Structure 1
């Protein structure tokens, strides 16, 4: 698929830290309970760390206690794309990517019984995100 932002691996490596590259471009997950946004309650917009696209807001973030930031919906439905399933801890889960640059964000789980408007859990790596605080700092 063609994305609005396309770069070579060398270009991505020059812009991202090794850990960010491993997650965003290598489609691996950071260790649970280690990400900077797992427990944050700060208000704002979560953007793709690779390209800056607005993906999620603090309004959709909820505490799932899964070890990664969780959102029940993206900011705009067309800001992320959901792709093929992969096995995570023996459970099949669709992969979530940034619709603007194709970077890996995490997985999508449904039907887990969380008290959210959508009963969806976008389980997203902190290393895939950058929080732009609501106060503009």
Structure 2
């Protein structure tokens, strides 16, 4: 079962299912995030939509690279959540099914290749306060709480 995060769906609105893969990316006591700069800055777990014919892991590797410029290794699934949002870039009301992984950033190859994205490193505590959605915050704080002795 996937937990819903954020506001419930509006009863009279039609939503399109959009699946995505996102990652908590810890390294050296910090976490790699992306900041989408369009309109107003929005700090997010790196990741995004799964394209037709693509597996969640293929999408995860592609999206993390596009949004951060980093390659990742050893992804492991943490869980999933749903949220109901308007996606202005697609002019679409979406039921987003977000598959969340933890993976390790191994090498920065370039700057982000996706327009309006910046890679940022934050402490887990700062990230937990600045992430733009409840689901991202939930999985990040749960991961770091479980990995702290």
TM-score, normalization by structure 1: 0.29
RCO higher in structure (CA 8 A, sep ≥6): 2
Identify the structure with the greater helix proportion. Answer: 2
Larger radius of gyration: 2
TM-score, normalization by structure 2: 0.28
